Amino acid sequence: MDQSFVRFSSRITHLQPEGAYAVLARAQELEAAGANIIHLEIGQPDFETFPHVSLAGVRAIVTGQTRYTPPAGQRELRAAIAAYARGQYGLDCDPAQVVVGPGAKPLLFFAMMALLEADDEVLYPDPGFPSYPAIIRAMGATPVPVPLEEERGFALDLEALHNRLSTRTRMIILNSPANPTGGVLPAQDLEKIAALARERDCWVLSDEIYSRLVFADTPPPSIAGRPGMAERTILVDGFSKTYAMTGWRLGFGIMPAHLAHRVTLLITHAIGCTAAFTQQAGLAALTGPQQEVTAIREQFRRRRDTLVAGLNAIPGIRCQVPDGAFYAFPNIRALGRTSAAIADILLEHAGVAVLPGTDFGACGEGYLRICFAHSPATLTEALRRMSRVLADLAPSVGSRAE
């Protein structure tokens, strides 16, 4: 075919692969050539899906639950999610506000599709999940990055947020606990953001996929529970991180019922429905025993402490203790190289795959994202390799650190 015939829509010409998949591909090339690679680049639990959850999915297949389901999700799962939202977030939630999808990403995508026009602006965190600006641009809207402040636990720069609000601002995206930083937004920040959203009459899309992976004694607050915010918030969550179900593809959104109806229409025409057996597995996850969730969170806490202590022992690196998720986001500026250069050095010479902070936005320069959803032995070996290789940069580290 004559390639001049091919003309792609402007909605997709900006799309790029996620950095994690690019690093994974290069790491796999090295493995094929005989290298031993420690994979700390992909963000997923290393645990298997809980046995009772997997059995519920298998049982659903064996008993014939392999046909179409309602586009918004099965009634019993939506009811269970509404009950979960009342307990986890303190929301007065009705099943009519719940939409189930094949993963959390479709809920991000369809919520933005339902609300954004071409001349709208959307504020989002930088560094942040790369799908946010990609989806915003795909809708024809304008992404407006808001930097995170390392000295405040990677909370949003509220002054910058305020200054970047405009008459075109249609939506603010929040992610707490956050990918890639592990930061959790303080309650007082949520109050200020909620006040701005009410004052400017804009939507908030709150990505809370890591909400069960918080290392404080109490669950993190959700902006959806703030006064006047339920009617202007889309809360997106899912099963991938909490229940080690990344490959099951099951997520949900909680939003005003009139928006849920519109999002359901988009799901109807774009996806059709979510697999019945996957939904039955999710129902078993939500309504079954939760002790394993607590136990896994404690394992992640110990792994976090191992990794952060080891990183802070390497000259030229400083790393805050993340409050949630399973990522560390160490500051490597004192090493005197770009984030991409350090990530390449670690992959090629240490056999440790990590992501440069710039895979998550321009404000990620000077940082790495390292996933600690791995055994303590794996993390200890990764730290040993990193320390050995980065020691070669010690002269530049010493001169910059003094």
Closest CA to 324 of 206, 222, 216: 216
Whether the pLDDT of residue 396 is over 70: the answer is no
Instruction: Map the chain to HEC letters.
Output: CCHHHCCCCCCCCCCCCCHHHHHHHHHHHHHHCCCCCEECCCCCCCCCCCHHHHHHHHHHHHCCCCCCCCCCCCHHHHHHHHHHHHHHCCCCCCHHHEEEECCCHHHHHHHHHHHCCCCCEEEEEECCCCHHHHHHHHCCCEEEEEEEEHHHCCEECHHHHHHHCCCCEEEEEEECCCCCCCCCCCHHHHHHHHHHHHHHCCEEEEECCCCCCECCCCCCCCHHHCCCCHHHEEEEEECCCCCCCHHHCCEEEECCHHHHHHHHHHHHHHCCCCCHHHHHHHHHHHHCCCHHHHHHHHHHHHHHHHHHHHHHCCCCCECCCCCECCEECCECHHHCCCHHHHHHHHHHHHCEECEEHHHHCHHHCCEEEEECCCCHHHHHHHHHHHHHHHHHHHHHHHHHHC
Q: Above 70 in pLDDT, residue 3?
A: no
Q: Express each pLDDT in 89-103 by its tens digit.
A: 889 999 999 999 999
**CA–CA gap between residue 8 and residue 178 (Å, rounded):** 33
Question: What confidence tens digit (pLDDT) does each residue in 44-81 have?
Answer: 999 999 999 999 999 999 999 999 999 999 999 999 99
pLDDT band at 400 (very low <50, low <70, confident <90, very high): very low
Percent of the chain with pLDDT over 70: 97
pLDDT of 159-171, one tens digit each? Answer: 999 999 999 999 9
CB atoms within 10 A of CB 201: 9
Of 338, 356, 344, the C-alpha closest to 389 is 344
The predicted-structure confidence for 17-47, as pLDDT tens digits, reads as follows: 888 888 999 999 999 999 999 999 999 999 9
Write the CA distances from 18 to 180, 361, 390, integer angstroms: 13, 11, 26
Confidence of residue 265 (pLDDT cuts 50, 70, 90): very high
CB 172 within 8 A of CB 233: no
What sign results for the dihedral spanned by CA atoms 5, 10, 11, 15? positive
What is the overall mean pLDDT for the chain? 94
Q: What is the band of 398 on the pLDDT scale with cuts at 50, 70, 90? A: very low
In the chain, the domains with their CATH numbers are 3-48+292-392 (3.90.1150.10), 51-287 (3.40.640.10)
CA 300/CA 214 separation, integer angstroms? 10
CB contact burial 147-185 (16+ within 10 A = b; e otherwise): bbebeebbbbbbebbeebbeeebbbbbbbbbbbbbbbbb
> Which residues, listed in sequence order, are joined to residue 352 by a DSSP beta bridge?
38
Range 119-134 average pLDDT: 97
Instruction: Answer yes or no: are the C-beta atoms of 57 and 278 closer than 8 Å.
Output: yes
Question: Has residue 399 got a pLDDT over 50?
Answer: no
User: Residue 7's pLDDT band (boundaries 50, 70, 90)?
Assistant: confident
Dist. CA 228–CA 235, nearest whole Å: 14
pLDDT in tens, 106-120: 999 999 999 999 999
Select from 112, 139, 101, 132 the least CA-distant residue to 264.
Answer: 101
Residue 183 has pLDDT above 60, yes or no: yes
Check residue 373 and give its pLDDT: 97
Here the tokens at position 288 are: 């079954």
**Cβ atoms within 10 Å, residue 23:** 22
Q: What would the pLDDT profile of 148-160 be if each residue is shown by its tens digit? A: 999 999 999 999 9
Residue-wise pLDDT tens digits, 268-282: 999 999 999 999 999
Model confidence band, residue 397 (pLDDT cutoffs 50, 70, 90): very low
How far apart are the two ends of the chain, measured CA to CA in Å? 61
pLDDT class of 401 with cuts at 50, 70, 90: very low
Give the pLDDT confidence score for residue 19 in this predicted structure.
Answer: 83
Average pLDDT over residues 252-258: 98
The pLDDT assigned to 211 comes to: 94
Phi, psi of 70, deg, nearest 5: -60, 140
pLDDT of 196-251, one tens digit each?
A: 999 999 999 999 999 999 998 887 889 999 999 999 999 999 999 999 999 999 99
Count the residues in the chain.
Answer: 402
